[in-house]
Structure 1
């Protein structure tokens, strides 16, 4: 199917929108009427601009409050339509887009509406135009695509067809069996939008929270399967109303839109298998490298390797966790450090089929990074990730020690100390406008699935949090953002320019691990006593267990699947912090405890 997007989906003026749409690779564009009215030229100038950019104008939309009106409103509606016909012809498009009536003056009745559409279709046919009819979810009489199809069927005119919009279908949980029986030639346009699962009215949900396919929770693959059965072969067009998109650069948003349609048209996306985090790389200055090293020693990490050709690069290990400290002058890490301070500049992810992932990255126009490779170095491809972080991709080696020995001179016989075993998850902070984009990135290229968006209270506002995970949860990433200027996430974004704010390491015995950390001088985040009083009331925990939790500043949560224990270090150099987690069948992130943790961190910052 050919691809299109409505100009209302992007920020900017009409010219910049059209240029962004063409650059992204779309075949066509829906011109939103407001964009045309505010354009500095005339309709024929828009037509010429689209022709120069290689874009077909699919339609001008919307035309509202037309059908089912009493006189004299009915005659006025037809007069309005005739004037719009003139405009369509000047634009060089043939599809007249009619939304179902929301006016209180509309009288309704399927036969009455069908008669109006027949007459409109006859007038359109005489001018070489077609009429497409769409059911708005909040339409006064027609608010279901099945009723809209019945009206089109009764109109029985060769120039009258149906327009479908996935938002209007799925916001009302409508079934798709009727869609499968609609002849493809009677479907004139298909608009697609995804959305998060929200409990609110259809109109505000539509006007503010639509997003691109792959960024929400609608079952769009089911819709596409039903649509294919109709034989439809026309445009697949994005119509997205989203407050974040309206403030984001149009070229980035348009490119995400194009990627989403590529993703949506895959019959069955290939199973991309990932198996966790291979390594985490820190960008650190020469002065801060020893300080970070001491911090890691307290956590039980030991330096196990020195790079063979780069004096400023070292390898640290514990369990299956591999950390790289990069203080090498002139490197990507040093450039990252100058902007972000001591921070995670890269992560390595394990993928089962590296060539397949790289092909998907190319298909979805991801930015590939291939840095300079010196002697005794692996050449590991990377993708640009959130806030400039590098995401290295590698197939897990049979023997990691042998793998690291290529780049590093390894030391022998160093014991593990604190009981940390794996990277449980990484939490990234980014601008609000970028969260949907990176959800789409992780879903389309790495096959991760997204959770619902959570609102987490912060003393200075709200933090929005969304997780992306692989099927067995061996790879978990948390995407955090906030529009409140004083929240913990916002401060990290403004002062450190975003990126990875915290790393969670897993252990099988959090009590022993934390005892080891305390003995090594690690400062844990102090949790207020009131939390444990409430914990006792909520869960009725054994008094001895509760006392151990209190003494070690451990937070606790339960789910039907199991229990979750987690604790936090204090922030390293006011930049990032470490979370220690023990999961006993529990699959979430302890979001119920996040306000307690954030408030405790905020108190330390103030003090």
Structure 2
């Protein structure tokens, strides 16, 4: 498929945008009128610049309020359109996007609209151009795609067709299945945008909160499936209005944009293949259309290990904390200044090797998590998938007879290792570490495994993080939540795999004074700042941890007074929770006990949790209490 993007999606001058779009490997662009007007280049020079960069120009847009006007205004509009057509000839843009009229004084007469669009298409045809008519979701009279089709059908001109925009159709709740009833030769252009579900004015929703496929909640795969099944022959083009994207550096944004289209193509290909089993037309489409077909997402089975970048001082502090939490120091690396700690299935690695990736990470971000090892069925396939989506492989220094673990550089510049079952069975840690005699990593504090991780992102990289976790790791986003920090709001979106063995909460805040905002700024691109560890008996674990000299986060008495008033809990249970600072949540599926260790080495902290029944949340109801207590600390 030909892949295109509107210049309005990203930041910069038109010249900067075109260079960034070409570097991200797009095939073509939609030129947004405001970008052209502000450019120092003439239309002919823009055309040549695109040609030099290997970019086609698929569309010029937008032309507004053309239809449903009186005769005098229509004549002025037609004169304006002809000037745009002359410009398009110089620019080399074959198609003009015409939006449905949004003015409240327009004439709501379909016959009039059709005749005016016919006249406009006639003028376009004289220059070998085409006109794509789009129903804006907030159009005064025409705001549904089937209505726009009825008008185009009445106009009956070969140079007039439809532009279908996923946002305008899906934000209205329209069923895209009707697209398959529209003749393919009338489907001139396709624009794609995802969006989170928001209860707000559709115009403001569209202008500020669109995002790339995979970053929102729209079912774009089904939408595109219907468009392709209708026989649409043109490009897949992104048109996204987003305040954050238009302020962020355009290099990362255009890479995300291209990755999102590849991910969407993969989803659409799978849908068409499934439909082809019983639908001959889908089978024919599957044979002739070329959609992106990367290696399958990894089957993840939780966290294999977590690696910290430290220096001698912070490494000493963290080592003492781990021992207090009941971790055994299993041993040291054979060729590097790296130490391994374990309790139950939880493996934590402290890396202070000079001149290494971890040392560079520490210099830039201080003591922090620099790498994450994920247990998977096939580590090499996981890396190959990432590379297919334009992520770089990572290869660190490996000593003689040490294990090579397939790895990628993540979008926050950390490393993701993919530890296959075969590596686990071969005892890859025993190959790399000298395990001290008698050290087994027993659950001395009752900690069994990693329950979840929390990752802070800067505002401009949050959607990048969502896309990475969804596309590369195959995690599914859960509904977003807003959490109250004493200094502002924090948005949290949990990403989980099918069996809940890997849970990562992505957090972002517009305020740099919140704990999340400060952490994202300190870590220069974000990073994991919170590890939740699972146990089977929260009170036994709290007792052992406290006996190990670990300070627990204090929780106000008011919390427990309110808890006793809200929920039907035994008084003795509430008092035990008060004693250890244990927080509690419950729902129809089960219950959740959790307490926090005071923050150390910067803003990093541990949480200990116990899940009862099938509770799958994260105790969000307690987040404000926790963040307030940490702020006081």
TM-score class, shorter-chain normalisation, is: over 0.9
2-structure distance, mates of 1:105, 1:39: 33
2:413 counterpart of 1:388: yes
2:388 counterpart of 1:359: no
* Bigger shift: residues 158-167 or 570-579: 570-579
1-structure distance, mates of 2:627, 2:411: 22
Partner residue in 2 for 1:470: 497
1-structure distance, mates of 2:60, 2:422: 55
Partner residue in 2 for 1:596: 625
2:488 counterpart of 1:480: no
2:332 counterpart of 1:306: yes
2-structure distance, mates of 1:554, 1:560: 20
Please give the per-residue CA displacement for 1:193-216, whole angstroms capped at 9, x wherever unaligned.
Answer: 001111111111111110000111
Partner residue in 2 for 1:291: 317
Please give the per-residue CA displacement for 1:78-112, whole angstroms capped at 9, x wherever unaligned.
Answer: 11111111111111112011000001221112222
Partner residue in 2 for 1:563: 591
Structure 1 position 304, deviation (Å):
1.0
1:104-183 to structure 2, matched below 5 A, reads 104-183=104-183
Partner residue in 2 for 1:41: 41
Q: Is the 8 A contact 1:281 1:345 kept in 2?
A: yes
1:271 and 1:384, CA in 2 relative to 1: closer, same or farther beyond 3 A? closer
Structure 1 position 248, deviation (Å):
1.2
List, as ranges, runs of 4+ consecutive aligned residues in structure 1 with deviation greater than 6 Å: none
Partner residue in 1 for 2:275: none
Structure 1 position 398, deviation (Å):
7.2
Partner residue in 2 for 1:543: 571
2-structure distance, mates of 1:460, 1:398: 45
Partner residue in 1 for 2:192: 192
Structure 1 position 177, deviation (Å):
2.1
Partner residue in 2 for 1:327: 352
Partner residue in 2 for 1:318: 343
1-structure distance, mates of 2:195, 2:556: 38
Partner residue in 1 for 2:302: 276
* Bigger shift: residues 37-46 or 445-454: 445-454
2-structure distance, mates of 1:306, 1:356: 30
1:411-560 to structure 2, matched below 5 A, reads 411-414=436-439, 415-497=442-524, 498-560=526-588
2-structure distance, mates of 1:578, 1:38: 51
Q: Is the 8 A contact 2:297 2:385 kept in 1?
A: no
Partner residue in 1 for 2:273: none
Give the TM-score normalised by structure 2: 0.93
- For the aligned residues, what is the CA RMSD? 1.5
1-structure distance, mates of 2:392, 2:175: 39
Structure 1 position 273, deviation (Å):
1.0
Q: Secondary structure at the match of 1:198?
A: coil
Given candidates 563, 566, 577, the residue that maps to 2:605 is 577
2-structure distance, mates of 1:281, 1:230: 50
Given candidates 336, 349, 356, the residue that maps to 2:361 is 336
Q: Secondary structure at the match of 2:358?
A: helix
Q: Is the 8 A contact 1:496 1:575 kept in 2?
A: no
Q: Is the 8 A contact 2:383 2:407 kept in 1?
A: no
Please give the per-residue CA displacement for 1:319-348, whole angstroms capped at 9, x wherever unaligned.
Answer: 111111112222111121222222211110
Structure 1 position 386, deviation (Å):
4.3
1-structure distance, mates of 2:479, 2:409: 25
1:233-252 to structure 2, matched below 5 A, reads 233-252=233-252
2-structure distance, mates of 1:551, 1:252: 48
Q: Is the 8 A contact 2:64 2:101 kept in 1?
A: yes
1-structure distance, mates of 2:411, 2:19: 25
Q: Is the 8 A contact 2:383 2:408 kept in 1?
A: no
Q: Is the 8 A contact 2:208 2:242 kept in 1?
A: yes
1:36 and 1:550, CA in 2 relative to 1: closer, same or farther beyond 3 A? same
Structure 1 position 287, deviation (Å):
2.9
- Structure 2: give runs of 5+ residues left out of the alignment: 271-292
2-structure distance, mates of 1:94, 1:494: 45
* Bigger shift: residues 25-34 or 366-375: 366-375
1:152 and 1:572, CA in 2 relative to 1: closer, same or farther beyond 3 A? same
Structure 1 position 72, deviation (Å):
1.6
Structure 1 position 399, deviation (Å):
4.9
2-structure distance, mates of 1:361, 1:114: 48
Please give the per-residue CA displacement for 1:509-531, whole angstroms capped at 9, x wherever unaligned.
Answer: 11111111111111111011111
Please give the per-residue CA displacement for 1:419-453, whole angstroms capped at 9, x wherever unaligned.
Answer: 11111111111211111112111211111111233
Q: Is the 8 A contact 2:314 2:601 kept in 1?
A: no
Give the TM-score normalised by structure 1: 0.97
* Bigger shift: residues 204-213 or 460-469: 460-469
Q: Secondary structure at the match of 1:253?
A: helix
Q: Is the 8 A contact 1:197 1:452 kept in 2?
A: no
